Amino acid sequence: MRNWTNPAVAPQEVAVLLFPRFSNLCLANAVEPLRAANEILMREAYRWRFVTLDGETVESSSGLPVLPHGPLRDHPGGDHLVVLSSYDVRHHATPAAAAALKSAAHRFGHVVGMDTGAWLLAQAGLLDGARATIHWAEMTAFSERFDTIETVSDRVVTCGNRTTSGGAMAAFDTVLAMIRAAHGEALGLEVSAFFLHRTAEPPVDRMFRGPASPLVEQAITLMSGALETPLPIATLAARLQTTQRTLTRAFQADLGAAPKAVYKWLRLAAARRYAEQSDYSITEIALRCGYAGAAAMTRAFVAQYGRPPRSFRP
């Protein structure tokens, strides 16, 4: 069963190892979810540093220069090492790079190869006997070159403390999975919604990015479209042509929470967005989020976020 929320944990330390001609999109998808998680949690849950093998400035495939914090060898280690390469990966797969990665891997709890990063991890012997994936353009060559690795075409593959993802868009899913594992499904849901629709109106499109069943996906869509007048869970189940018991079991299995708890969380998350981004009064926000008045919403809001909605005003 998945966890809806996890207890507070110490800040997660992340090192992002960049190679020349990395993808800007992949880098953004690797880091922006961490920044959003910090903003939503209102604390530094994630700290990240950019590193290169030599500590020198590196340019993306589109010419964007990035000045790293230092060389990989000087990083003390932490929770996640993200290896981000995109183009010219064979050129980057040198004995020196392999040695540096093999040495650094011992200092991190989790090693992630994004885009073509799996090639570099494989070259360093860090994927021997594991399942892995890589950008589709390198899939055939990768499987032929590293025959001790089970190469699969999945977007994201985790095998032990190694994760590989294929392509820039899969990087977002990879980091979102890391966030869910550390902090629970609720934060993963809100980070996903953060990027899908960040306006004064609550999102009504797909909010959950993860291994949710179609039934849970459909239920969340219905909930998101009925925040002002919340639907009874029995009514949701009937609209989805299932039973309330089946719906509850699906939510518990996928999210680790009952439908009623998820629905309440969605309404309060919408209230927070209204408080941050609109000039609606607290009373109007309460009504838009299915509460009879400001007092009732504020009590629930403080219980969830630890602060009243007024404190989120710009």
Angle subtended at Cα 258 by Cα 45 and Cα 261, rounded to the nearest 5 degrees: 60
Give 58's DSSP letter. E
Sequence letter at residue 128? D
State the pTM of this model.
Answer: 0.81
pLDDT at 252: 93
Domain range annotation of the chain: 12-181, 200-312
Question: Tokens standing for 254?
Answer: 């996928």
> With respect to CATH, is domain 200-312 assigned 1.10.10.60?
yes
Q: Which residues, given as ranges, of the chain have pLDDT below 70? A: 1-2, 8, 196-212
Query: Which tens digits make up the pLDDT trace of 253-276?
Result: 999 999 999 999 999 998 998 998
pLDDT at 193: 78
Partners of residue 15 on adjacent β-strands:
49, 81
Question: Could you tell me the CATH superfamily of domain 12-181?
Answer: Class I glutamine amidotransferase (GATase) domain (3.40.50.880)
**What are the Cα distances from residue 29, in Å, to 164, 177, 275, 305?**
14, 12, 26, 26
Fold match between 12-181 and 200-312? no
pLDDT at 210: 53
pLDDT at 202: 41
